[in-house]
Structure 1
């Protein structure tokens, strides 16, 4: 995963500061040296690294951090803030025209994922803004580019305007714009041609289209896996077109993440979206502060909440919460929850959004194989309706019958039932605002207080947990008030 190596190196760099009542200047220098090496190894631009390290060092000395209380935590806070600044501080929304349509021009080199990203963006606008986008197929050079866009358009149920490969891209864009006005589309997304490298012919064509439609957005799509080449590509396109933003693709791949940390600092243009998966729903708004927290191993609770809200049915979630409070959660509910979690993506990615969990040793081998899920489903489907609704009646003879019916070992059936009962108890405690329930949940997956305190997140992770617990208690009080009324 992106940033995994960087997170490990940064945590290692900070480890020497942990537990020290006082941090000397030599300790700080040693830590900054490790941070410098970690960033360079992650393929972050050298000039950006030098400025970053200098800024952190100045702030650590200038704010009397070394003489203050908990100097290690204060240094972590400074690193977090400077990482956020490096990537742009806040999320930058799409530019929107005062009159329809808003025109978005997609640019980039071949292989960056430009066509797929155009489809992802169209789906995002359609779902989140109830927009009526139109895709224009203006890449006549890459084999099957038009067919690919039409297939993507069909999947996201967005119309695609095309005129084949024998028509000049400028004419395609001109007639596509006319079609959009006629159909009252509020967004137009133009999929322009790419090349294996930047050349004069490509830029002239893009400049002509830019002059013709005066796009509200010129989004450059770059492959995060190309590292420093992504930054050079961004510089080249920005010099020629004055891009308005960047979309980083393949951030879920085996990438060191240097492009995400360098592009904003080098081009002064914001990263607006990141692609972190192959599904057409896998396009996320880029939040610099959340990304910084994830890089430092402090999790990303806000993104986790948003992901949950997006993928969960609100009414179903409320019903489930009520069942947890009343302790009536059964195997039917467990099956539903498992399917909902599958929609959110790989389990290991979700876990890393929880404060203190990123790169925790207990998560190294967390990987929910699709076969494991199929085995769990087979066990549950081998239960009778009564057994699913009332797991307490699962005595040894019933368990043996379930094992035979699901073709799974009896030990596996027993283990699954035991895990279900433990999870049910913890969920009941957590839903009632019991902090111990949350701590027990962390302990059950191998993350005790000292383990969490040992990472860069340290006490920040524990603080996040306490905030969550306080919020749950407040919600419980509100519910009780409503019931009394």
Structure 2
């Protein structure tokens, strides 16, 4: 989402890094470019003015200009200001400290992703907080809206209030509260109706439901792709109902990022969640510091390791770690890593979280490489026999032709995959020489990124500019 802004800011900071000393005019020139970058990213003008003034005031101070690394100091000031603009250095959380059932009311315009976000949050509460949740749809206007929530509830394993035709939103809210109390539900999520635009009927309906249910949280769901208009929508809702937070959907899209950067400053309410995809587990707690790091191209290793911990099975990681210690790495191991990368969001998502991988990500896009490369590589391995996967050296010219035909690829694609496997095998041997996983953990820091997902660094390294020395995976393009 922030790629364009990140690229623009990266260009500005590259100029600052290249200078040994900075004059006040250098800083002001850089801030002028930052201002343009933020405006092009569709950030609200008052937010841009406040941001640039805040950074400039601190950056032109004598302590910064006379420091040993003034360029780095300015970047740190910008990073701190970004974190503050996005909501500060604390992670906003749902207020769940109340007598059950705790009511969370979801509000927003039609098409913003409100119903799906309701199911995602219910799933999160159930799986990560151990809460018994229930959902109720109060949308009697949109066709099949209540049925949609019922289907989503079945998919995430969360109960939904039975549908009674003809009931109005206030009646449904009353019945949902009674049902939640009888079933000892911890959290009740009310999915209110939306409109194509803000109107008084919508506001009156929300106020009536709020008066009946006394929600602990009122979350405004906003589509990030609507850009500057999302801020206008947020202001309209904030003036009518007592919002406690914002949920930004489609943060994985190609929006310019202005909505995210403006939302907190304009509404004064924290962004609590960010939708990062269509799947029902594609939602993250919004953490300002991590988002700021991504915008400035510093990566987000913490999120990457957390994602690995969630998706990689412990027994699989331990088994592969043991094989690494022994210097072993066959096609079955490579296939397991490819599947782990898929489950963690694919190459693009991983590259976006790795520090210094912006250029690699850009190279992937320029080469025409897409996420299906992992599927094609998996298909190649799937077309090999059991013996060939264990011992790839068996793959002579005739066998390669068979594998290529079976996977719908070309022989050169099979050769590239074999080359990749060889390089990863060499990397495994180097790890053994370095002292196994202890040496690797020392190299990557506490816990070791590779400890969570062995070989990932080398796999990404082949995409250009990262760690490791794999061949260019972009050759596996469509």
TM-score (norm 2): 0.88
What residue is the counterpart of 1:22 in the other structure?
21
What residue is the counterpart of 2:143 in the other structure?
143
Question: What are the equivalent positions in structure 2 for 1:56-455 lying under 5 Å apart?
Answer: 56-62=55-61, 64-89=63-88, 90-360=90-360, 361-365=362-366, 369=370, 372-396=373-397, 398-403=399-404, 405-406=406-407, 408-429=409-430, 432=437, 433=439, 435=443, 444-447=462-465
Secondary structure in structure 2 of the residue aligned to 1:111:
coil
Partners of 1:137 and 1:162 within 8 A in 2: no
- Distance across 2 between alignment mates of 1:405 and 1:238: 58
Deviation digits for residues 58-92 of structure 1 (CA, Å, limit 9, x no counterpart): 11122521111111111111111110011112211
What residue is the counterpart of 2:471 in the other structure?
none
- Distance across 1 between alignment mates of 2:286 and 2:96: 18
More divergent stretch after superposition (361-370 vs 123-132): 361-370
Deviation digits for residues 16-40 of structure 1 (CA, Å, limit 9, x no counterpart): 2122110111211111000000001
What residue is the counterpart of 1:460 in the other structure?
none
What residue is the counterpart of 2:451 in the other structure?
none
Shift in alpha-carbon separation, 1:372–1:356, aligned structure 2, 3 A: closer
More divergent stretch after superposition (368-377 vs 39-48): 368-377
Partners of 1:8 and 1:359 within 8 A in 2: no
Q: How many pairs were matched up?
A: 448
Secondary structure in structure 1 of the residue aligned to 2:60:
helix
- Distance across 2 between alignment mates of 1:27 and 1:192: 51
Aligned-pair CA distance for 1:11:
1.0
- Distance across 2 between alignment mates of 1:73 and 1:392: 49
Aligned-pair CA distance for 1:445:
3.0
- Distance across 2 between alignment mates of 1:33 and 1:15: 15
- Distance across 2 between alignment mates of 1:441 and 1:389: 19
Gapped runs of 5+ residues in structure 2? Answer: 445-454, 468-478
Aligned-pair CA distance for 1:368:
5.7
- Distance across 1 between alignment mates of 2:279 and 2:372: 20
TM-score (norm 1): 0.87
More divergent stretch after superposition (387-396 vs 145-154): 387-396
- Distance across 2 between alignment mates of 1:405 and 1:420: 19
Question: What are the equivalent positions in structure 2 for 1:453-464 lying under 5 Å apart?
Answer: none
- Distance across 2 between alignment mates of 1:367 and 1:272: 35
Partners of 1:120 and 1:283 within 8 A in 2: yes
Gapped runs of 5+ residues in structure 1? Answer: 450-485
What residue is the counterpart of 1:452 in the other structure?
none
- Distance across 2 between alignment mates of 1:11 and 1:442: 21
Partners of 2:346 and 2:371 within 8 A in 1: no
Secondary structure in structure 2 of the residue aligned to 1:104:
strand
Aligned-pair CA distance for 1:346:
2.9
- Distance across 2 between alignment mates of 1:407 and 1:363: 22
Shift in alpha-carbon separation, 1:50–1:368, aligned structure 2, 3 A: same
Partners of 1:135 and 1:191 within 8 A in 2: yes
Partners of 2:224 and 2:255 within 8 A in 1: yes
- Distance across 1 between alignment mates of 2:307 and 2:459: 21
Aligned-pair CA distance for 1:413:
1.6
Deviation digits for residues 339-385 of structure 1 (CA, Å, limit 9, x no counterpart): 22212223112111000112544343477646544432333233332
Aligned-pair CA distance for 1:258:
0.5
Aligned-pair CA distance for 1:126:
1.4
- Distance across 2 between alignment mates of 1:290 and 1:73: 18
- Distance across 1 between alignment mates of 2:367 and 2:302: 22
Shift in alpha-carbon separation, 1:173–1:298, aligned structure 2, 3 A: same
